[in-house]
């Protein structure tokens, strides 16, 4: 079957990007990561460089959809929901592609939950969620940022630095 010109261009582009990142048989591709956030994505899913996973990272790759993007490919690993929720906070346009047998088996977007439980530290040192009380942090996602339900603190930037 003859592909359209657009499909041809995409194949050509994929082939060139393939030189940058080799295909994986099984694992996860986190695509459309906000440019510059790939290393933060790795950090929040616990990949430090001393772990055993086989990872490829591409940063500031040209993307038709969002200008520039980062991509992370992880061999033989799928992500838990709490990990995907953390990624949503720093890369709201990310897509999670599960690769099986070299093909995209499943593709899903990420979604910022309306209530963020236990994954962001409240910057207020006096907040009850920062004491020895057995209380998980809890933020409500609002237009202006994320608000702590315990002390009303609003985080409007640098969410990455507060992710646990």
Ligand X SMILES: Nc1ncnc2c1ncn2[C@@H]1O[C@H](COP(=O)(O)OP(=O)(O)OP(=O)(O)O)[C@@H](O)[C@H]1O
Binding site for ligand X (CB under 6 A): 14, 23-24, 29, 31, 71, 73, 95, 97, 99, 102, 104, 107
How far apart are CB 31 and ligand X at their closest, in Å?
4
Q: Which does 151 bind (CB under 5 to 8 A by kind): ligand X, Zn ion, none?
A: Zn ion
Q: Which is nearer to ligand X, 24 or 88 (CB)?
A: 24
How far apart are CB 41 and ligand X at their closest, in Å?
14
CB atoms within 10 A of CB 23: 12
How far apart are CB 23 and ligand X at their closest, in Å?
4
What residue ranges bind Zn ion (CB under 5 A)?
122, 124, 127, 148, 150-151, 153
How far apart are CB 100 and ligand X at their closest, in Å?
9
Q: Using only C-alpha atoms, what is the Rg of the chain?
A: 18
Q: Which is nearer to ligand X, 54 or 142 (CB)?
A: 54
Q: Which is nearer to ligand X, 84 or 99 (CB)?
A: 99
């Amino acid at each position: 079957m003859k592909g359209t010109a657009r499909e041809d261009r995409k194949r050509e582009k994929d082939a060139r990007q393939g030189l940058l990142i080799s295909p994986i048989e099984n694992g996860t591709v986190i695509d459309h990561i906000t440019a510059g956030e790939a290393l933060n994505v790795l950090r929040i899913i616990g990949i430090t460089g001393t772990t055993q996973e086989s990872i490829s990272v591409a940063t500031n790759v040209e993307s038709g959809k969002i200008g520039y993007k980062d991509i992370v490919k992880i061999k033989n690993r799928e992500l838990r929901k709490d990990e995907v929720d953390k990624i949503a906070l720093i890369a709201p346009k990310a897509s999670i592609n599960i690769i099986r047998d070299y093909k995209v088996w499943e593709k899903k977007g990420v979604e910022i939950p309306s209530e963020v439980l236990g994954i962001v530290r409240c910057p207020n040192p006096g907040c009850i969620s920062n004491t020895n009380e057995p209380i998980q942090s809890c933020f409500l996602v609002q237009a202006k940022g994320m608000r702590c339900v315990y002390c009303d603190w609003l985080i409007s930037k640098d969410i990455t630095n507060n992710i646990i």
